[in-house]
């Protein structure tokens, strides 16, 4: 039986077989999650947020060591998080877009001062 993975804020849903990583599901859905290590839990770039991780397999030691406590806030590594049942994944903002948005907000605040 397939498991449903919902990616927020894109509201994109895909069905995958249990045992698929969140990274593989994202790629299948056409969603780019940045990674340099090829899915080996070495680069820490594929962080995602999972509000309810009950749809994922328990975290393995290598992911837990890499996250160093961030797992308590719902952070998981997409390359290591294995889908078992339905799960909702919140993607972090793209770093470049986030930097641009921050700069634009700062400019708006500066302009309002004049």
Residue 113: what pLDDT? 63
Task: Say if residue 70 is exposed, middle or buried (CB neighbours under 10 Å; 0-12, 13-18, 19+).
Answer: middle
- Beta bridge partners, 47, equal 77
Question: pLDDT at residue 114 above 70?
Answer: no
Question: pLDDT at residue 9 above 70?
Answer: yes
Residue 99: what pLDDT? 79
To 10 degrees, the CA torsion angle through 71, 77, 82, 86?
A: 70
Task: Report helix, strand or coil for 62.
Answer: helix
75-77: strand order across its sheet: 12-16, 3-8, 87-90, 47-49, 75-77
CA 80 to chain centre: 11
Residue 30: what pLDDT? 95
Higher-confidence position of 1 and 27: 27
Give the max Cα distance, the chain.
60
Residue 7: what pLDDT? 96
Q: Which of 75, 60, 84 is nearest to 2 (CA)?
A: 84
pLDDT 10s digits, 53-110: 899 999 999 899 999 988 888 999 999 999 999 999 999 887 777 778 788 888 887 7
Q: The pTM is what?
A: 0.81
């Amino acid at each position: 039986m397939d498991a449903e993975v919902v990616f927020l804020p894109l509201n994109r849903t895909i069905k995958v077989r249990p045992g698929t990583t969140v990274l593989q599901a994202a790629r299948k859905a056409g969603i780019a999650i940045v990674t340099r290590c090829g899915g080996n839990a070495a680069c820490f770039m594929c962080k995602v947020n999972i509000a309810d991780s009950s749809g994922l397999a328990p975290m393995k030691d290598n992911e837990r060591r890499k996250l160093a406590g961030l797992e308590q806030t719902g952070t998981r590594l997409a390359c290591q998080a294995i889908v078992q049942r339905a799960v909702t994944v919140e993607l972090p903002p793209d770093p470049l877009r986030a930097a641009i948005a921050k700069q634009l907000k700062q400019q708006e605040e500066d302009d309002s001062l004049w």
